[in-house]
Amino acid sequence: MNSDKKEKKKEAVKKVIASMTVGKDVSALFPDVVNCMQTDNLELKKLVYLYLMNYAKSQPDMAIMAVNTFVKDCEDPNPLIRALAVRTMGCIRVDKITEYLCEPLRKCLKDEDPYVRKTAAVCVAKLHDINAQLVEDQGFLDTLKDLISDSNPMVVANAVAALSEIAESHPSSNLLDLNPQSINKLLTALNECTEWGQIFILDCLANYMPKDDREAQSICERVTPRLSHANSAVVLSAVKVLMKFMEMLSKDLDYYGTLLKKLAPPLVTLLSAEPELQYVALRNINLIVQKRPEILKHEMKVFFVKYNDPIYVKLEKLDIMIRLASQANIAQVLAELKEYATEVDVDFVRKAVRAIGRCAIKVEQSAERCVSTLLDLIQTKVNYVVQEAIVVIKDIFRKYPNKYESVIATLCENLDSLDEPEARAAMIWIVGEYAERIDNADELLESFLEGFHDESTQVQLQLLTAIVKLFLKKPTETQELVQQVLSLATQDSDNPDLRDRGYIYWRLLSTDPVAAKEVVLAEKPLISEETDLIEPTLLDELICYIGTLASVYHKPPSAFVEGSRGVVHKSLPPRSDSQPCCECALTPNPSHSLHPPPPPLLPPPVPLPVVPPVTPPLSPQMGGGSGSFAAAPSTTAPTNMGAPLGSGLGDLFDLTGGVGTLSGSYVAPKTVWLPAMKAKGLEISGTFSRQVGSISMDLVLTNKALQVMSDFAIQFNRNSFGLAPAAPLQVHAPLAPNQSVEISLPLNTVGSVMKMEPLNNLQVAVKNNIDVFYFSTLYPLHILFVEDGKMERQTFLATWKDIPNENETQFQIKDCSLNADAVSSKLQGSNIFTIAKRNVEGQDMLYQSLKLTNGIWVLAELRIQPSNPSFTVHPIPENKWRRVRR
Amino acid sequence: MRLRKMIHSLFLINCSGDIFLEKHWKSVVSQSVCDYFFEAQEKAIDVENVPPVISTPHHYLISIYRDKIFFVSVIQTEVPPLFVIEFLHRVADTFQDYFGECSETAIKDNVVIVYELLEEMLDNGFPLATESNILKELIKPPTILRSVVNSITGSSNVGDTLPTGQLSNIPWRRAGVKYTNNEAYFDVIEEIDAIIDKSGSTVFAEIQGVIDSCIKLSGMPDLSLSFMNPRLLDDVSFHPCIRFKRWESERVLSFIPPDGNFRLISYRVSSQNLVAIPVYVKHMISFKENTSSGRFDVTIGPKQNMGKTVEGVVMTVHMPKAVLNMNLTATQGSYTFDPVTKVLTWDVGKITPQKLPNLKGIVNLQSGAPKPEENPSLNIQFKIQQLAISGLKVNRLDMYGEKYKPFKGVKYITKAGKFQVRT
């Protein structure tokens, strides 16, 4: 490599690169390779650049040696070399180098050659990723915005791409300030730039909110030609823009119909591409047919499964077939599904059988046909086909009760071959539900009872319910059987769900058989095809993400993408005819779409009217009322870990107000939790505190009623950290009207745990001699910070490094004028410990640790800028609340 | 620090699971990330069934399978997966174009060029130059002659001037193209995708057509291609060079072509009555209960073939697992049965209507195995020269902008695409 001959040098560097490509570490050669950089041979230069990009990070000091050559190359008369130099510099993620990059970059952004300008535009995005502050200070963002008006479409496209990327990490900033003028420029550039540029521009257009339906239509008109592009990513991005803006067009408009027609062919064409592309296209089509079934309603046949499609394509096609099934095409669909049920792939066959059941539920007219198809399949005696068929027939019974019971006999013939829990449970459900029409129902159920303890929970529960149903229908002959199952469930089982259900039945049957009948044999809600549709607000959000990973996973990006805390939730624009005022179209989507409610769940096979799991004997304090602690509805929406933490820390820093004491942790002033209006005169206000290791709930009970209150008791619902009262609520004397009493209720964290939304939500029930009252409150998280939350310095360093990026969140705390030491001691009062402190360029950095009662560590970095009295906090929950083993 | 980048890294993996090339556009991602891919591959059993999008705790893996190579890209943020998949296919196309084949050996032999190409194609996740015309100006493809010359003169295979097409409004064409013989060829290639049910009626059929072009014309020719029956083309995807407005208004393909080989348009004809099915298959495949054997009898014949010869006929059948071997006689061509993969291949050749090709005989099952439930599908391949089955016909080609008279040619061919007959 140190040879004088250019050729030899080049060969040597090539060999180094070749080793690099197979993953060998050749970083030891760094100085020698860098020496070859000063050359006028372009190929050699490129090779050295390639090498530099790979290894500069591990050898930052050496990389500095290369800076001069870079700066010189940025002035080279050859635009190719200028562009290459600025591009490579941007890829070297070494802080020291970025400082030298600014001047050359500024020149290149204004270079006379568009090739250099477009390369420089991308470089701004790279630099922003390394040092965002620098980019803002240097004014590069404004230069980038100016490039949107560049005369060259490639430069425009790259500027848009760079700005979109930067904007993603700054959701609040108004970087891509889209207005009709800039939109017009983008649309012009759209026609002229490369396919990749078109994707960037289309994705950017999709974020624009047209001011009225006229503007929406004119944008749509200019985007539709993209549907004929050969690049499928361009097509899908165009589909996204159209699907979104279509929402604003009135359905009566001729253009609306035209647009619908234009959307079908490109979507179908995507299905003739390579299987990988087909897969992504199908996942998106699945969303589109749910949103606008009319687009593809005549294209059923293109979703017919080909024998040699990869399995992932087959399963997606099947799903879309069901969504498109209607009375008009059901015959064809059923014939296809029956064909698929004889294929080789077991997973696919199972799904095909289930699909037949879904057809029956979706298209009422086809139910009979579906049932007979299923019976045909049962006749094949192929084990897994029979089992799937029985599972779906159960659903058909639930949709069309008392219609197809004639097939029960055939089903019973296959009883012995069922070995999967789901199929067994389905069969038992059928027997129980129609016990009065099956002569030997008791024998059938008894046969299952023999191996009761070897069955899965699903089957056990089902068997218990089925026998109880049987007993209620034919009480005389089945007394013994029901006794047997109840004792199996309550005495011999250690499964709490089973035991509870057993006890409930037992109690019901022994106290009030009539009520038991009403409960157990109650009329069940019918199931409908809606159960497998995506919930509408989520669907609308996903439509805005057509073509992205979100559309493949059918989840909003906030649910799974790393570092998505900045993700802005998108929503479809309102339809213009329903929303005449323009301002409405511009208001951001309401926050309730952040956490869409979970899709309606299937009603449980046995509809137990909301009976909570209460185990007899009932708790004495609560006076044995039946189900006084009805389980509060829980949501399954994804929890944003940042939010509760944020509020908790915000409170801590709210040091000006409140009764913060230096010795103990911060205590918020009491607030009213339960107004007297809602609790027949009982008003409860309170707060939480933590003192020397014990948590307490400080309550003030006020009697605003006219009668005396007594017999107080309190209970908590299950919550995220298992908070529970450590002692009963002690109110010694009865509470006279207009009297208050202050109580400090000690709490512990050994109660049952259930994740709440928000995380720090606590649902409380309070009882007195008048009634039971419910309220919910949010507890500050810092009451859970334990005293031994000071992490070892070494452990801290090691853990800090290992924290994955996605666990990092940060926010600012404004208007807090304390110095580092005061902060440190204040925080220590709340068990947030300072592990290290350092001063970087005039900023005080504090490294903090804290531990929660359940053993989760949170590490944080505090940056205190003296000039600007604000704090930057990076709480870093360990790997999504991964527990650290101690 | 979050990393925002479309394609973070690329790994090339062969069928036996060796990573034989890796390229990182930013920091190095450890090879161990591919373990998730291998896991999925193992689960999928068949290489073709590996899901194209796999999520891992910190990354997404988006992959394509081309020419026995997995192109696995590592993604860290929300990206359009189609964008990535399209790009990966473009990378594979480029290798094919440069090395004549996209194979592990070819890539390993040209590893430095591959690296230079990848660097040129993507910058910070933004595709840079993916047009073969532009790439070839930046990095010259390897030829035996050039490598000999290079080693003597010390010149390089990296171009040192800015590619001319890169920033013009027609990025697909370079300036200064010169040929002694000016020629323009168009191949109209149509593939029939069809599912025929056991009774012989068509469940589904459509035509996937493309017009591939080979244009060797000097200067900046401006071409117009018109059809006798442009109405057939209602679902089309165009090469970026085509002027969409002209097509919308006049149904004429007007364009300044790229230099060399490229796909001008692809189209789809789906309306059932336009899709002729050029062959029929008579079949009888049955398994007898308890005898461990079955019968196989298949005849292929021509129909709706517009008087042209159906040739290159090959039938492949995936037989059920229980099949041990097959004892067949072919009246024409030869057959093979692979007892491991259970694939029966019958290379029929040309169909002569006077004597229809037939393959029949005995199927032996594993003794004691139950009668197979599934009905094997017959996959048929064939070719018909000088025919576009949709009836599409080129009317004329006009050239503007240049003075010379080019040689023009159009060729038609119809093939079977995914053509399957259920039994």
Give yes or no for residue A654 having a pLDDT over 50. no
3-state class (DSSP) for residue A360: helix
Give yes or no for residue A641 having a pLDDT over 60. no
pLDDT, mean of residues B5-31: 85
Strand segments (E) across A73-222: none
What's the pLDDT score for residue B157? 58
**Closest A-chain CA to B85:** A277
Interchain contact A764–B (C-beta under 8 A): no
Give the pLDDT confidence of A809-843 residue by residue, as tens digits. Answer: 766 666 666 677 777 777 787 788 888 887 777 67
Nearest to B238 among A50, A168, A230 (CB): A230
Two structure tokens written together for A131:
């040092």
Give yes or no for residue A617 having a pLDDT over 50. no
Per-residue confidence band for B357, with pLDDT thresholds at 50, 70 and 90: very high
Interface test with B, best of A261, A549, A565, A810 (most B CBs within 10 A): A549
Nearest to A301 among B25, B157, B204 (CB): B204
User: By percentage, how much of chain A surpasses pLDDT 70?
Assistant: 83
Interchain contact A151–B (C-beta under 8 A): no
Contact B82 A277 (CB under 8 A): yes
Give the pLDDT confidence of A792-811 residue by residue, as tens digits. Answer: 877 777 777 777 666 677 66
Nearest to B167 among A154, A312, A549 (CB): A154
Q: Which residue has the higher pLDDT, A165 or B399?
A: B399
Contact B78 A548 (CB under 8 A): yes
Interface of A with B in 796-815 (CB under 8 A): 804-806
Strand segments (E) across B303-401: 311-318, 323-330, 334-338, 343-349, 358-365, 378-385, 394-400
Contact A199 B239 (CB under 8 A): no
Give yes or no for residue A657 having a pLDDT over 70. no
Contact A23 B64 (CB under 8 A): no
Contact A196 B85 (CB under 8 A): no
What does pLDDT average to over chain B? 86
What's the pLDDT score for residue A615? 35
Which strand (E) or helix (H) includes residue A517?
Answer: helix A513-520
Per-residue confidence band for A530, with pLDDT thresholds at 50, 70 and 90: low
What's the pLDDT score for residue B120? 85
**Closest A-chain CA to B59:** A562
Amino acid identity for residue A481 in this structure: L
Interface test with A, best of B18, B78, B247, B253 (most A CBs within 10 A): B78
Give yes or no for residue A138 having a pLDDT over 80. yes
Rounded distance between C-alpha atoms, residue B411 and residue A287, angstroms = 41
Amino acid identity for residue A871 in this structure: F
Two structure tokens written together for B242:
């085509």
Interchain contact A345–B (C-beta under 8 A): no
Rounded distance between C-alpha atoms, residue B303 and residue B277, angstroms = 7
Helical spans, DSSP H, in A400-456: 408-413, 421-433, 441-449
pLDDT, mean of residues B216-239: 91
**Closest A-chain CA to B245:** A225
Per-residue confidence band for A629, with pLDDT thresholds at 50, 70 and 90: very low
Rounded distance between C-alpha atoms, residue A548 and residue B60, angstroms = 12
Two structure tokens written together for B84:
């990535």
Give me the total of CB pairs closer than 8 Å, taking one residue from chain A and one from chain B: 249
Picking from A121-125, A390-394, A712-716, A803-807, which range would have the lowest pLDDT averaged per residue?
Answer: A803-807
Give yes or no for residue A528 having a pLDDT over 60. yes
Contact A152 B167 (CB under 8 A): yes
Contact B171 A194 (CB under 8 A): yes
User: Which residues of chain B are within 8 Å of residue A311 when distances are taken between CB atoms?
Assistant: 44, 49
pLDDT, mean of residues A466-485: 87
Per-residue confidence band for B56, with pLDDT thresholds at 50, 70 and 90: confident
**Closest A-chain CA to B271:** A299
Nearest to A552 among B53, B248, B377 (CB): B53
Give yes or no for residue A582 having a pLDDT over 50. no
Picking from B93-102, B154-163, B277-286, which range would have the lowest pLDDT averaged per residue?
Answer: B154-163
Picking from A320-329, A798-807, B378-387, which range would have the lowest pLDDT averaged per residue?
Answer: A798-807
**Closest B-chain CA to A132:** B1
Contact A280 B76 (CB under 8 A): no
What's the pLDDT score for residue B113? 87
**Closest B-chain CA to A314:** B49
pTM of the model: 0.70
User: By percentage, how much of chain A surpasses pLDDT 90?
Assistant: 13
Task: Report how far Cα B338 is from the mean position of its chain's Cα atoms.
Answer: 25
Check if the beta carbon of residue A129 is closer than 8 Å to that of residue A110: no
Q: Which residue has the higher pLDDT, B238 or A812?
A: B238
What's the pLDDT score for residue B152? 54
Contact B58 A235 (CB under 8 A): no
**Closest A-chain CA to B110:** A18
What's the pLDDT score for residue A320? 93
Counting DSSP H helices and E strands in chain B, the numbers are: 7, 23
What does pLDDT average to over chain A? 78
Picking from A341-355, A781-795, B258-272, which range would have the lowest pLDDT averaged per residue?
Answer: A781-795
What's the pLDDT score for residue A811? 67
Picking from A141-155, A456-470, A625-639, B359-373, which range would have the lowest pLDDT averaged per residue?
Answer: A625-639
**Nearest CA distance, B114 vs chain A (angstrom):** 10
Q: Which residue has the higher pLDDT, B6 or A531?
A: B6
Amino acid identity for residue B318 in this structure: H
**Nearest CA distance, B304 vs chain A (angstrom):** 22
b/e string for B118-134 if b means 16 or more Cβ within 10 A?
bbbbbbbbbbbbbbbbb
Interface of A with B in 534-593 (CB under 8 A): 547-550, 552-553, 557, 560-564
**Nearest CA distance, B417 vs chain A (angstrom):** 10
Contact B124 A126 (CB under 8 A): yes
Interface test with B, best of A5, A7, A17, A21 (most B CBs within 10 A): A21
In whole angstroms, how far apart are CA B253 and each of A228, B224, B239?
13, 5, 10
pLDDT, mean of residues A447-473: 88
Rounded distance between C-alpha atoms, residue A78 and residue B140, angstroms = 19
User: Which residues of chain B are within 8 Å of residue A125 when distances are taken between CB atoms?
Assistant: 4, 124
Instruction: Quickly list DSSP for A719-771.
Output: BTT--EESS-----S-B-TT-EEEEEEEEES-S-B---SSTTEEEEEEE-SS-
Rounded distance between C-alpha atoms, residue A8 and residue B156, angstroms = 13
Interface test with A, best of B8, B13, B86, B104 (most A CBs within 10 A): B86
Interface of A with B in 279-318 (CB under 8 A): 279-281, 301-302, 304, 306-308, 310-312
pLDDT, mean of residues A496-506: 89
Which residues are within 8 A (CB) of A743 and not within 5 positions of it... i.e. 6 or more apart?
A: A698, A699, A700, A701, A729, A730, A731
What's the pLDDT score for residue B270? 80
**Closest A-chain CA to B3:** A129
Contact A90 B64 (CB under 8 A): no
**Nearest CA distance, B245 vs chain A (angstrom):** 9
pLDDT, mean of residues A737-758: 83
**Nearest CA distance, A417 vs chain B (angstrom):** 16
**Cis omega (within 30 of 0) for bond into A758:** yes
Give yes or no for residue B335 having a pLDDT over 90. yes
**Closest A-chain CA to B316:** A308
Check if the beta carbon of residue A481 is closer than 8 Å to that of residue A464: no
Nearest to A274 among B26, B64, B83 (CB): B64
User: Which residues of chain B are within 8 Å of residue A272 when distances are taken between CB atoms?
Assistant: 193, 208, 268
Picking from A337-346, A391-400, A463-472, B127-136, which range would have the lowest pLDDT averaged per residue?
Answer: B127-136
Give yes or no for residue A586 having a pLDDT over 70. no
Give the pLDDT confidence of A14-24 residue by residue, as tens digits. Answer: 888 888 877 77
Check if the beta carbon of residue A339 is closer than 8 Å to that of residue A353: no
**Closest B-chain CA to A280:** B82
Interchain contact A350–B (C-beta under 8 A): no
Check if the beta carbon of residue B70 is closer than 8 Å to that of residue B12: yes
Per-residue confidence band for B155, with pLDDT thresholds at 50, 70 and 90: low
Per-residue confidence band for A277, with pLDDT thresholds at 50, 70 and 90: very high
Interface test with B, best of A228, A324, A336 (most B CBs within 10 A): A228
Q: Which residue has the higher pLDDT, B378 or A16?
A: B378
Nearest to A277 among B2, B85, B119 (CB): B85
Q: Which strands make up the sheet holding B407-421, listed edge to edge?
A: B236-238, B260-269, B202-216, B183-196, B407-421, B378-385, B311-318, B343-349, B334-338
What's the pLDDT score for residue A264? 92
**Nearest CA distance, A881 vs chain B (angstrom):** 14
**Nearest CA distance, A199 vs chain B (angstrom):** 8
What's the pLDDT score for residue A587? 35
Rounded distance between C-alpha atoms, residue B248 and residue B71, angstroms = 38
In whole angstroms, how far apart are CA A586 and each of A209, A573, A702, B30?
7, 8, 47, 45
What's the pLDDT score for residue A32? 82
Interchain contact A231–B (C-beta under 8 A): yes
ipTM for this model: 0.85
What's the pLDDT score for residue A616? 38
Give the pLDDT confidence of A395-452 residue by residue, as tens digits. Answer: 888 888 878 888 888 888 888 888 889 999 999 998 888 888 888 888 888 888 888 8
Contact A548 B80 (CB under 8 A): yes
